[in-house]
A = this chain, B = another copy of it.
């Protein structure tokens, strides 16, 4: 059902991205599924690089948020077999590599939040923390980590 919804939205799930180090992309503990921090990777390459408000525009950063969210769905599908096993998106923590004067981190993250609600409806609603940071792995403009509630 959720995968039909993805097709309706024209979203195709890529292969799940690999970890950038000696950790795992997801870990399930009872009904909590934790994902590792994700970057806006497409086919193993960062789609954007640099700081938002400087090298990367708000619109590009929002696109990065959507790419990350789709990568998260790929990992969810990989780990659960079906996206229908997602009961609730619980929490997003978003780290925006920001120029000194860039204070619109919430608008960047809205692109991820809106996509989740567009796909999962009420089950996509979540709490969120959005902060600006000075630099991220591989000079990524954005990193998001996710916690989901899933069927046990």
Interface residues, chain A, with chain B CB atoms under 8 Å away: 19-27, 29, 32, 34-37, 88, 90-93, 95, 97-107, 109-110, 113-114, 117, 125-139, 143, 145, 149
Determine the distance from Cα of A35 to Cα of B99 in the docked complex, in whole angstroms: 27
Per the bound structure, the CA–CA distance linking A140 and B81 in Å amounts to 41
* Contact call B37/A131, Cβ cutoff below 8 A: yes
Q: Which residues of B contact A24 (CB under 8 A)?
A: 125-127
A27:B125 contact, CB within 8 angstroms: yes
Q: Is B134's CB under 8 angstroms from A34's CB? A: no
A34 in contact with B90 (CB, 8 Å): yes
Return the 10 tightest CB-CB contacts between A and B, nearest first.
Answer: A37-B129, A132-B135, A23-B128, A21-B106, A22-B113, A36-B127, A134-B134, A21-B110, A129-B145, A20-B106
Q: Would A21 and B126 count as touching, CB distance under 8 A?
A: no
The answer for the CA separation of A133 and B95 in the assembled complex, in Å, is 10
